Amino acid sequence: MEQILPWVLIVAPWFLLLPLDSIRVRRFMSVAFLIVVITTITHQLAEIYNWWTVTSDFPFLTNVSTFAYGLLPVVTILMFYFTYPNIWLFFGVNIVFDAFQAFVISPFVFERFGLYRMEEMSNFGLFILIIILVPVIYFYQRWYDKKLNSDHFS
């Protein structure tokens, strides 16, 4: 079970995108890659500051939890797919989902199944960290859309 859950979290979520409109999904791939980069950097900071310890990773993904490359970018795409560009809907849904992730999924799924162990950071701190990223990715997507649209008409 220790190696099954990481593989499930990195591969299975991508199948959730199959029934969706591929053109709309592609529109949000850039922000999904951005969240992967930001999360990878965050995991490196977590190692330095002992926020949490990744206890189950792949040999080639040391100190980065596998959900950062599967579940997280897919959830990001789904959030944008169903709520973007409505800023209030996007932020509202994200706050609810981020609270669920920080206070339920993190302690009762990820920690219980040994993906990581919270150290110096509390679940509330994790929630704040996640919430800080929401405006960053939202305004990145707005900038990306604007740039994409201006390039088509140039």
Say yes or no to pLDDT of 147 above 90. Answer: no
**How many domains, in total, are found in the chain?**
1
Element (DSSP H or E) covering residue 53:
strand 52-54
The torsion region of residue 85 among left (phi > 0), alpha (psi -120 to 50) and beta comes to alpha
Residue 105 in any domain: the answer is yes
Q: pTM here?
A: 0.91
Residue 114 in any domain: the answer is yes
Residue 102 in any domain: the answer is yes
The parent domain of residue 141 ranges over 4-149
Grade residue 104 by pLDDT with cuts at 50, 70 and 90.
Answer: very high
Element (DSSP H or E) covering residue 114:
none
Residue 154 in any domain: the answer is no
107 — phi, psi (to 5°)? -75, -35
d(CA 27, CA 29): 6
Say yes or no to pLDDT of 57 above 80. Answer: no
**Residues 126-133: contacts with CB within 8 Å, 24+ apart?**
126/52, 126/102, 127/98, 127/99, 127/102, 127/103, 129/42, 130/98, 130/101, 130/102, 131/94, 131/95, 131/98, 133/35, 133/38
